[in-house]
Each structure stands twice: as C-alpha cells, then as structure tokens.
Amino acid sequence: MAQIRLVNVSKRWGSYVGVDNFNLDIADAEFLVLLGPSGCGKTTTMRMIAGLEDVTEGEIWIGDKIVNNLEPKDRDISMVFQSYGLYPNLSVYENIRFPLRVRGIPKAEHHERVMRAAAMVELGPFLERRPAALSGGQRQRVALARSIVREPNAFLMDEPLSNLDAKLRVSTRAQIKNLHHTLKRTTIYVTHDQIEAMTLADRVVVMNKGLVQQLGTPTEIYDRPANTFVASFIGSPAMNLIDGDVTDGIFRAEGMALPIPLGVSGPITLGFRAEDVQVVPQGGQLSATVYSMELLGDATLVSCRIGPALVSIRAAKDFRTQIGAPLHVAIPPSAVHVFDRSSGQRLSDNTGLPAQATSSKTGAA
C-alpha cells in the first residue's frame, strides 16, 4: 500500500499545456477518482503517475520515494485499461498468470495466486476459455484479475467500464467497489462518467483544461459545487443555471423573482437542482410554460425555458401535464446556489454559508 503525492506537476507538449501545476495528496488505501471531460488532463495525470508519460515539471512521490525517473515496472503499481489488453492466444488462466511469469515470481506461488484473484472477480468457471469466448464484462474481469494477481501497492484504472453496456457497468462497478474494500489498496480511477465518480470515490478531483476545479467527497462536490463548471458537470440532470440580476436583494430573470439575502447585487448566475424545488398549483418563484415532460418511473422530469436556459424540475412520479401548459415552481432559499457571472466562481448560497474554497491556477488541492 502507498501514499501518492503530486507536487507542482505539469505536462506540456510545446506550447500546449495538458496538466498545469497540479498538487495532490492521495492517502494510503484511498479510492480517488479523476473526473472530467475529454482532454481535461485526467488520463495524462494517471499516465505520469504510472511512468508512461514523462513529467515536464514537478515531482511524483509513491510512498517515501520520488519516482520521476523510475521505469513503470519499478513503481509497484498495476494498471487496468479501457481496452482490456488481453492476449488472445492465452487462456483466462494464463492471462491472469502472465504478470507473475514476467516478474519472476516463484512458480510454486502461481496457482494459488491466480485462483485467488479469479475467485475475487468470479471467473472460476471460465479459466480454460480464451478471450474471444468471453463477453465484454468477463474480459474486463480478466483484466481486473490480472491486475490483482500482482498484489501491487496501488491500482490505476483508466475508464475500465466505458466499453460495457449499462447493466454490466452497474454490476462491474459494484465489483470494483467490493474489491477495493477487500484489498485496501490505493486506487486512482479515471472517468468522464460522474455516476461512476459519485458511487466509487472516497474523494473526487474534478478537472478541466488541465486544472483542478474542485477536490472533495462526492457529497461535498454535489451539494456545494465550487463553480459553474462543476455545477454543470455533476448531477443527472445537471444543476440548473440561470443568468439574471439582483436588485434590492431580489434576483430577477425571465419568469423569475426570488430574494437573495446575501448582500450581493448586479449580474449573477443562480443555480438550483431539479430535485430541490417543487411544482405548485400557483404562485412560486418561477413561472413558465412546459417545454417537455419525461416519465422516469420514480419521478417525472419537467422542462421549461427561462431565457436561453433549459430548466429541469423533478416532480412526483404521478405528475402529469401537457407541453405548453403553465408551470409554477416553488424554490426554497436552501435550494439556491449563487455564482459570479463573469468568473463562474461560487459566491455563497441562501443558507448563509460562505463559499467553498476553489482551486486557482496552481491546482492546489
């Protein structure tokens, strides 16, 4: 097991900056998720930790050693890739066993370790098959077992579920969660899927354009996003963000008027989540016409337009309406988030709590 530290780490290719002055401490046995859109720097960060990319500036520590100049094989980490990377001519058993052979582990230990790793991911009945005879989910489990069998200090996982269908993602996600609980190894997991991040992580690093936007527990990031990027990236549906102006303590936008007791004035971006507000028969702080209605089974998702913004409201599962019908929504003060219009940074919210500290260009976490 190992603590991993990144100190002022940057990665550049000429004038292009992939990761910008990244600082992060990952605790021993922590499950940390790097989350962000394509091109945000999350995979580059993982590849630098693995030794697959050189660091332009800064230091990477694994345990009590700087590993910048160590080969990947000498860092005592194991990677699980999106593409599985299995040998098609080898059986499942031999694919799992392969890391033991190349690392010179005594042959007397191989069978016990392979069987133990295979049992952890429920591959016992498939050990004699070759990868071509396996489903996508089974192949991903072989890749996990091959990573487990090495018994490394840390696991690095690069979007391991992205090739699976929705049902397999759910079951494999649960398996990864259980494996981490069992193995208690430091794990760094890269994904663009915020549901994976919220369900798996002890902490989440939200990245964009090579910078850390926010670091925190899934609950902290969901409940108090540091800026409009995080607010729009986390949640399904994403947080509603509406541009308007505050005058005399009242926020106003098309079809909206509600008090903002924060001492702010002028142009702001107001946010609220679909599940934190309520459809009411009349009145409320938002009035509009229904743009669409979607039945989700456990709820009804109603959309309306406020200026250019498409706003989502989660109503009761038996709520019914028609497109074009009037819609009235009550927005409690506790549901409101307030962001600076120009910078996108969180100002505060109607709970009176101060704004959460956000990252600067240093990417300090």
Report the distance separating Cα 9 and Cα 66, nearest Å.
12
235 and 270 fall within a common domain: yes
Count Cα atoms within 13 angstroms, Cβ side, for 262: 29
For residue 300, give the CATH number of its domain: 2.40.50.140
257 and 182 fall within a common domain: no
Report the distance separating Cα 274 and Cα 196, nearest Å.
20
Amino acid at 323: I
- pLDDT in single tens digits along all 365 residues of the chain: 589 999 999 999 999 999 999 999 999 999 999 999 999 999 999 999 999 999 999 999 999 999 999 999 899 899 888 777 889 999 999 999 999 998 888 999 999 999 999 998 889 899 999 999 998 888 988 999 999 998 888 999 999 888 888 888 888 898 899 889 998 999 999 999 999 999 999 999 999 999 999 999 999 999 999 999 999 999 989 999 999 999 999 999 999 999 987 678 899 999 999 999 999 999 999 999 999 999 999 999 999 999 999 999 999 999 999 999 999 999 998 999 999 999 999 986 554 444 543 443 434 33
Hey, is 317 helix, strand or coil? coil
Confidence at residue 349, expressed as pLDDT on a 0 to 100 scale: 54
165 and 292 fall within a common domain: no
Confidence at residue 150, expressed as pLDDT on a 0 to 100 scale: 86
Confidence at residue 188, expressed as pLDDT on a 0 to 100 scale: 96
266 and 309 fall within a common domain: yes
Encode pLDDT of 176-217 as tens digits: 998 899 989 999 999 999 999 999 999 999 999 999 999 999
Beta-strand relationship, 57-62 and 211-216: unpaired
DSSP assignment of 240-296 equals: EEEEEEEETTEEEETTEEEE-TTS--EEEEEEE-GGGSEEESS-SSEEEEEEEEEE-
Residues spanned by the domain of 33? 4-223
Flag whether 357 is in a domain: no
50 and 193 fall within a common domain: yes
> Pick from 223, 246, 279: which residue ends a domain?
223
With contact defined as beta carbons under 8 Å apart, do 346 and 227 qualify?
yes
* Structure letter (DSSP) for residue 89: T
108 and 247 fall within a common domain: no
Flag whether 310 is in a domain: yes
Flag whether 267 is in a domain: yes
Strand order across the beta sheet in which 77-80 lies: 77-80, 154-158, 186-191, 31-35, 203-208, 211-216
Encode pLDDT of 82-99 as tens digits: 777 889 999 999 999 999
Flag whether 170 is in a domain: yes
Encode pLDDT of 116-163 as tens digits: 999 988 898 999 999 999 988 889 889 999 999 988 889 999 998 888
* Dihedral sign computed on CA atoms, order 315, 318, 320, 326: negative
Confidence at residue 1, expressed as pLDDT on a 0 to 100 scale: 54
* Dihedral sign computed on CA atoms, order 209, 211, 216, 220: negative
What is the total count of domains within the chain? 2
For residue 202, give the CATH number of its domain: 3.40.50.300
Flag whether 314 is in a domain: yes
163 and 22 fall within a common domain: yes
34 and 163 fall within a common domain: yes
> Pick from 223, 243, 262: which residue ends a domain?
223
Flag whether 98 is in a domain: yes
Confidence at residue 361, expressed as pLDDT on a 0 to 100 scale: 42
Question: What phi and psi values does residue 288 have, to the nearest 5 degrees?
Answer: -160, -175
The runs of H, that is alpha helices, within the chain are 42-50, 92-102, 107-120, 136-148, 166-183, 194-200, 218-223, 228-233
Confidence at residue 351, expressed as pLDDT on a 0 to 100 scale: 45
277 and 218 fall within a common domain: no
27 and 165 fall within a common domain: yes
Flag whether 22 is in a domain: yes
Report the distance separating Cα 302 and Cα 292, nearest Å.
6
Flag whether 362 is in a domain: no
Question: 142-171 as b/e, with b when 16 or more CB fall inside 10 Å?
Answer: bbbbbbbbbbbbbbbbbbbbeebeeebbee
143 and 281 fall within a common domain: no
203 and 56 fall within a common domain: yes
> Pick from 177, 193, 223: which residue ends a domain?
223
